[in-house]
Structure 1
Amino acid sequence: MSLLPSNATKYERALEKTCARSFSLPVLIDRIRNPSQSPMATLPWLAYERSVDEWNEEWSDEQKRQITARSISVHKKKGTCGAVEEALGALGIAVRAIQWWETEPKGAPATYDLEVQLPAGYKAEEATYQEVERVVNAAKNCRSHLGKIALTPAALTQKPLVSSAVFCGEFVTIYELGRIKAD
Structure 2
Amino acid sequence: MSSLLPANATKYERALEKTCARSFSLPVLIDQLRNPDACPMSVLPWLAYERSVDEWKEGWSEEQKRQVTARSISVHKKKGTRGAVEEALGALGIGVRAIEWWEMEPQGVRGTYDLEVQLPAGYKVDEETYQEVERVVNAAKNCRSHLGKISLTPAALTQQPIVSGAVFCGEVVTIYELGRIKAN
Q: Fold conserved (TM > 0.5)?
A: yes
Instruction: Name the residue aligned to 1:82.
Output: 83
Q: Distance in 2 between matches of 1:20 and 1:161?
A: 65
2:98 aligned with 1:97, yes or no? yes
- For 2:169 and 2:124, locate their aligned partners in 1 and report how far apart those are by CA, in whole Å: 40
Residue 104 of structure 1 aligns to which amino acid in structure 2? E
Could you say what secondary structure the match of 2:151 adopts?
strand
Q: Does 1:72 align with 2:55?
A: no
Structure 1 unpaired stretches of 5+ = 173-183
Task: Report runs of 4+ in structure 1 exceeding 2 Å deviation.
Answer: 1-5, 15-24, 158-172
1:59 paired residue number: 60
- Cα distance in 2 for partners of 1:164, 1:40 equals 50
Q: Aligned-pair distance for 1:89? A: 0.5
Range that drifts further, 140-149 or 116-125: 116-125
- SS of the residue corresponding to residue 113 of structure 2 reads strand
The alpha-carbon distance between structure 1 residues 26 and 140, as it changes in their structure 2 partners (threshold 3 A), is same
| Structure 2 residues not aligned, in runs of 5+ | 4-8, 175-184
Specify the code of the residue in structure 1 equivalent to 2:54.
D
> What one-letter code is carried by the residue in structure 2 that aligns with 1:159?
Q
Question: For each residue in 1:78-105, what CA deviation from the matched residue of structure 2 results, as whole angstroms up to 9, or x when unmatched?
Answer: 0000000000000111101000011111
Matched residue type, 1:125: D
Query: Deviation at 1:162?
Result: 3.3
Identity rate of aligned residues, in percent? Answer: 77
SS in 1 for 2:149: strand
Normalised to the residue count of structure 2, the TM-score between the two structures is 0.79
The count of residues paired between Structure 1 and Structure 2 equals 166
The residue type paired with residue 33 of structure 2 is I
CA RMSD of aligned residues (A): 2.8
Give me the whole-angstrom Cα distance separating, in 1, the residues matched to 2:173 and 2:131.
Answer: 58
The alignment status of 1:132 with 2:168, answered yes or no, reads no
